[in-house]
Amino acid sequence: MAERRRGNSLGGRRDRLIGFLCEWSGKLDHRLGPDQELLDVPGVKVIKLMCSGMVKPEWVELALKSGAAGCFVVGCPRGDCHFREGNVFINERLLGLRPPKLKTRDVDPERIAVFFRGAEEWPELIEDIKAFRDRCLARAGEEPAPQGGRQAAATKARTAEGTAS
């Protein structure tokens, strides 16, 4: 259960973050590398969507369960979603107020953030992401290293071998 609550049952790199970026909010195109990674903040990959309302809570769960240090969503400023309500919807879903809800039992809510930034507010957005990354990494550092997926299976196998011999 404790393993589940840490949200890294699949293992993975704990210095990496996933961000979902609405196409109409914080304009980060010119700050992205070839693999859509953020050049200003190491370890952050951005997945661009038409609207932050398209983000499924299960994607956020997947990112954290895969071992990401954190996951964030960037939407338009409150009251001004290009598609009217997308930013409100994703915020409510992640807060568990609107279906489909985020299963907070399985992931650490402290490693999830929603930023509301307009297209021209990208410098402020980068600062937000930096601060969020530092927070997530500090939080991840408090926990034991992830043991999941193939790594965990290999470790378990090695342990079993050692025990047997």
Partner 1 sequence: MAWSDILVVVLVIMAVDLLAVAVMRRGGPPRRPGPTPIISGSPLSRWERFLKRSQEATTRVDYLLNLLFGAEYNFWYFHAGLTNLFLWFCIATGLLVFFYYVPSLESAYASVEYLTYEVPYGQIMRGLHRYSADGFAIAVLLHAGRVFFTDRFRKFRSMTWVSGVVMLVFLLVTGITGYLLVWDQRSLLLTTMTHQFLAAIPLVGSYLAGWFIGGPVISDTTLSRFLFLHIAPPFAFMVLLWWHYLKINRPVIYPPAPVTLLAAGLVIVAAAVFPAVSQAPANFDAPATELAVDWFFLWGYWLFNVLSPPTLVLLAVVLLAVLFAVPYFPRSEWRNVPVVHAGRCTGCSLCYVDCHANAIEMIPDPYFTGRRKKLLAVVYEPKCAECGICVGACPFSAIEMPRLRDKQVEEAITGWVGATGAGD
Cβ atoms < 10 Å from Cβ of 41: 20
Buried b (16+ CB within 10 A) or exposed e, 80-92: ebbbeebbbbbbe
Contact between 74 and 48 (Cβ < 8 Å): no
Asked whether position 127 contacts partner 1 by CB under 8 A, the answer is no
Nearer to partner 1, 6 or 93 (CB): 93
**62 vs 164, beta carbon nearer partner 1:** 62
Plot region of 141 (φ>0 → left; ψ -120 to 50 → alpha; else → beta)? alpha
* Separation of alpha carbons 80 and 50, rounded Å: 15
- Closest to partner 1 by CB, 37 vs 135, is 37
Nearest residue (CB) to partner 1, 5 versus 118: 118
Binding track, positions 85-114, relative to partner 1; x by CB under 8 A = xx--xx--x-----xx--------------
- Where do contacts with partner 1 occur on this chain (CB under 8 A)? 10-13, 16, 18, 23-24, 27, 35-37, 45, 47-51, 53-56, 58-59, 62-63, 66-68, 77-80, 82-86, 89-90, 93, 99-100, 116, 118-121, 148-152
